[in-house]
Amino acid sequence: MMRLMAPQREHAVCHTAKRVVMRTCGCSRPEGDENLTIAQGLRGRFLFSLTAPRRFDPAGMRHYTRPGPRHNARNDDPGLGGVRAAGYSRHLMVIDAIDVYWVRIPLAFVWKTSYADQHVTDTILVRMQSGPHHAWGESCPPYIPSYSSEHTLGTFHTVREHMAPRIVGRDLRTAQDLLDRIDFVRGNQFARAALEIAWWVLEAKRHGVPLHVALGGKGDAVAVGADFGIQDSLDILMSQIQGAIDAGFPRIKLKFRPGWDLDMVAAVRSTFPDFTFHVDCNAAYTLADVELFRALDRYRLAMIEQPLADDGMSLVSHAELQKRIATPVCIDESGHSLAHVRAAIALGSCKVVNIKMARVGGLAASRAIQALCAEHGIPCWVGGMLESAIGGAICVELATLPNFTYPADIFPSSYFYAHDLGKPEIVLSGRGEVATSRVPGIAQEPDPDLLARWTVEHASFRAKA
């Protein structure tokens, strides 16, 4: 059972220093670029500021800036999607300020999956400012590193220590400009996405267009589905499914784990013979369970989401499973990036791809993945990580791109939260659909009182005056 409590700490970072001296261990590390300085207190142990050689890591090894592989977006990424095509100029976009918040939001009920029983959502919010404009983005890594190797504490640390200092004070006119500044960090897609997503919302606001227009999407609303975790009884599950069907949701996802698997699906299909269902295994199985998945073929599921463990052989194993069953396999946890999805397509690992914007490193990567899949006739859909209304609204905007053809994992705020951190809350605009933004960027921002109450840690970065 995952009950999470932590003391609240705040880190105020005033950027005028070249390096931080760690008094406890005597080593040094860079906090940013030559135009920044830092005065930082962390648990009262480290302090502030010496002029230093450029960019040393904690072990004293030099880091030299280089372009690096552009693995998070297509090489022809236009920066502002449809807006650039519409003729907007790409004038200066200096990032004047960044605030990073680790926030813990209470759930309205216990969310049960094959990973854990979850009582709260830990998430990372980023506020980014350029001139008079500011915007909020969200990346929602799990608190426990079970969904992936990334987790909330690690993501907050990576953004605070290694990424945000290289972004603040810089002129970043495209998403790729930002990604290039942090390309020296390997992996850490949730951390990368935290900044890149905020950049996209900020850029859309600066140009006065909704985020989906900036991304190149179209539409007044997107279709969304209903999801149900592990329940205490089949009767409870059947009642929930009936309620979702009555509310007009076009499909339902069922969490699937050992002990809540084949018999559950058989009962659901016998009760609802014609409705669209799929199961989400959250990587709980191996190829030794192939007969279980063959048995699912008779139930005409839309897909089996991430059936196998996300290990070093994941894409190969999923390819072998897909050869041996008729039901489409959908990758989720194994689709870490555009490169991973390209490999999955080459291997035949899946027939459907779930795209979670933070898992793949941001919105540019999400856009590129859905376009690549379209070229190969593979449909995509937008997944969720129990984001607040801020992240949920951004997912809505992403889901307007043309190859997102299966209803998204985007939920009304009231489903997971008695009080959503983001305001206005996400609501259904029709039966099984959520409206896209009608304002520049997105409408959602955190409620100030709830943000103050639920913040675990906060780091603030300001460009040198």
DSSP state of 306: S
- Which of 64, 87, 107 corresponds to the end of one domain? 64
Q: What integer pLDDT is reported at residue 54 of this predicted model?
A: 29
Q: Which of 315 and 81 is assigned the larger pLDDT? A: 315
Q: 131-189, pLDDT tens digit by residue? A: 999 999 999 898 777 677 789 999 999 999 999 999 999 999 999 999 999 999 999 99
- Tally of structural domains, the chain: 2
Is residue 176 a part of any domain in this protein? Answer: no
Is residue 291 a part of any domain in this protein? Answer: yes
Q: 201-231, pLDDT tens digit by residue? A: 999 999 999 999 999 999 999 999 999 999 9
Q: Which of 302 and 68 is assigned the larger pLDDT? A: 302
Q: What integer pLDDT is reported at residue 53 of this predicted model?
A: 28
Which residues have a Cβ under 8 Å from the Cβ of 376 and sit 6 or more positions away? 345
Is residue 293 a part of any domain in this protein? Answer: yes
Is residue 172 a part of any domain in this protein? Answer: no
- Which of 31, 48, 64 corresponds to the end of one domain? 64
CB crowding 307-316: b at 16 or more within 10 Å, else e:
bbbbeeebbb
The phi and psi torsions of 108 (rounded to 5 degrees) equal -75, -20
Q: 438-459, pLDDT tens digit by residue? A: 999 999 999 999 999 999 999 9
User: Is residue 306 within 8 Å of 280, Cβ to Cβ?
Assistant: yes
Which residues are part of the catalytic machinery? 255, 356
Q: 96-136, pLDDT tens digit by residue? A: 999 999 999 998 877 777 666 777 899 999 999 999 999 99
Percent of the chain with pLDDT strictly greater than 70: 79
Q: Looking at 19-33, 378-392, 422-436, which range is the least confident one?
A: 19-33
The mean pLDDT of 73-98, rounded to a whole number, is: 57
Is the pLDDT score of 25 beyond 80? no
Is residue 185 a part of any domain in this protein? Answer: no
Q: What CATH number is associated with residue 305?
A: 3.20.20.120
- Which of 25, 40, 64 corresponds to the end of one domain? 64
Q: Range of 57's domain?
A: 1-64
Is residue 339 a part of any domain in this protein? Answer: yes
User: Is residue 219 within 8 Å of 433, Cβ to Cβ?
Assistant: no
Rounded Cα gap, residues 200 and 362, in angstroms: 9
Q: 81-90, pLDDT tens digit by residue? A: 444 433 333 5
